[in-house]
Amino acid sequence: MSASLVADRPRSHRGRVAAVGALQVCLTLGLLGLVVARWGLSPFATAAGALPWWAVVAGLGLGAAGVVFQALRWRLVARHHHISLPVGPAVARCWQAAFLNSVLPGGVAGDALRAADDSSDAQAADGRRALASGFAAVAAERLVGTTVVLVAAAVVLVGPVPPAGVACLAGAVVTAAVAWRWLRVLPAGDLAAVVVLSVAGWAAFVGMFVLAVVVVAPDVDVSLAPGLATVSVAAMSVPATVGGWGTREAAAGWIFTVRGLDMGTGVTVSIGYGILALLSTLPGAVVLALRTVPRLREVGRARTRRRGE
């Protein structure tokens, strides 16, 4: 094989990644554009204006709880893939991943960085499989979380919309089967703990959506809120947009209609949730800055030393 063909492979891969990212951005803008075309900017203004300070604080707390549950789940899976992570750094890296996932296309870039990160706060077994083990641990814990989200959506939808419920259940079977490849090394007790932590993390984000229902649409029967939240949050598991924007609003508008509620109200509530969710990831931006600045300084010092040689 010629050297030029080998060199072209990374460029070709980067081109495909960029193309997929561009499509995800376009889909996000297109779906949000449909919202603006149908209702104007009022859903965004209404959602933002309806969020009191205490709701933002509560949203931050729920987001933090979700991050902590994910970090504990990740540590548990990673340990059985020969990766040791202290609790603090695991939480910090999950928060950083949450922020990146919320602002970059696809919702997985932050987790890819979390898996590939070579920082000294994690200790992996030596050898060529260390990187593969890192990706296996992250993929497994994310897929368990997705399975829980899809099963919950299937339970909510199987009655009113059986085809959608069956589709969610089928998706859950697929994600569980893929995750099992990396989870089968866990003993039964640890596997049960991973599932419990996944349910707890899902509940934190469903709780955030319920909070958005309460403050943005107080006229909606609160007993309907968990079901509405379950379906809307499940739509974010589809890595097709930026931070779940667009697909979540479409799903929220649809499930509100299924429940006999106004579609525009569902879209507005979903936007309120999106604002709360984004704000809850901002500590991850601080973590990213604190972890990136020293590395950039080291790169700068290395360049200065090379110039002086």
Which residue in 263, 260, 208, 214 sits closest to 233, CA to CA?
Answer: 208
Instruction: Return the pLDDT at 142.
Output: 94
Secondary structure of 76-93 in HEC code, one letter for each residue? HHHHCCCEECCHHHHHHH
Measured distance CA(47)–CA(50) in Å, rounded? 5
Instruction: Return the pLDDT at 7.
Output: 46
Question: pTM here?
Answer: 0.88
Measured distance CA(146)–CA(144) in Å, rounded? 5
Interior/surface letters 245-272, b for 16+ CB within 10 angstroms, e for the rest: bbbbbbbbbbbbebeebebbbbbbbbbb
With a cut of 90, say whether residue 8 has pLDDT above it: no
Q: Give strand pairing partners of 123.
A: 84
The residues spanned by each domain of the chain are 3-308
Mean pLDDT along residues 6-16: 59
Q: pLDDT digits over 37-54, tens only?
A: 889 999 999 999 999 999
Count CB atoms within 10 A of the CB of residue 100. Answer: 22
Measured distance CA(200)–CA(37) in Å, rounded? 37
Residue 3 pLDDT class (50, 70, 90 cuts): very low
Instruction: Return the pLDDT at 12.
Output: 66
Q: pLDDT digits over 118-147, tens only?
A: 565 666 665 556 677 888 899 999 999 999
Which residue in 165, 202, 236, 224 sits closest to 69, CA to CA?
Answer: 202
Q: pLDDT digits over 228-283, tens only?
A: 999 999 998 887 788 888 899 999 999 999 999 999 999 999 999 999 999 999 99
